[in-house]
Structure formats: C-alpha cells, structure tokens
Amino acid sequence: MDDLRRTVLDYVRREYLEEDDDRELVSTTRLISGGIVDSFSMVSLKRFLERKYDVKIPDADASPEAFDTVDSIAALVERLAPVKA
C-alpha cells in the first residue's frame, strides 16, 4: 500500500472509528455506503485531503461515490495533484 492510501486509512480510522472498534479497514472498504463515514462528514474528510495534499477538490468531484473507498479517494487526489500525491 502506498503512502497516500495509508495516510487516508489512518485518518479515517482515527477520526471516524472508536478507539476499540475492531472492524478491519482496507483500501476497498466501503466508507460512505458502508456507513463508516456519513455524507455530512465527507466535508471534513475533503478538507483533510485538501490540506494534506494541497489540492482543491471541486464540489462536483466530491460525490459519495468518489469518497466511497480509500482507493477511489486516492484516484481522485492523484488525478487532481498527480505530482504532489
């Protein structure tokens, strides 16, 4: 797993799961449709990505589908900031 995916996974685990939540999180885990991150919390996740990777994610790209897995998030960030990511 690359740094980007690991960083996002760590952030999701730290911010959206309880400390003793033993659910396995991998880069294909459904975050939005799986009920781990709700659509309102997407905004804070988006803000984190923008800060961390110095990108601007247009609202049109910030869909629940695009944020549904760490893989799809990574693809989005890499598309918007291929060099920095």
Q: Is 37 in the site for another protein (CB under 8 A)?
A: yes
Three-class DSSP category at 13:
helix
**With binding defined as CB under 8 A, does residue 24 bind another protein?**
no
Q: Is 47 in the site for another protein (CB under 8 A)?
A: yes
Contact residue for another protein among 6, 64, 79, 84 (CB under 8 A): 64
The reply to whether 15 sits near another protein by the rule CB under 8 A is yes
31 in Cβ contact with 9 (< 8 Å): no
* Interaction between residue 84 and another protein (CB under 8 A): no
The 3-state DSSP class for residue 68 equals: coil
The DSSP element (H or E) to which 42 belongs, if any, is helix 42-53
CA dist 78 and 85 (Å) reads 6
**Where do contacts with another protein occur on this chain (CB under 8 A)?**
15, 18-21, 23, 30-41, 43-44, 47-48, 51, 59-60, 63-65, 68
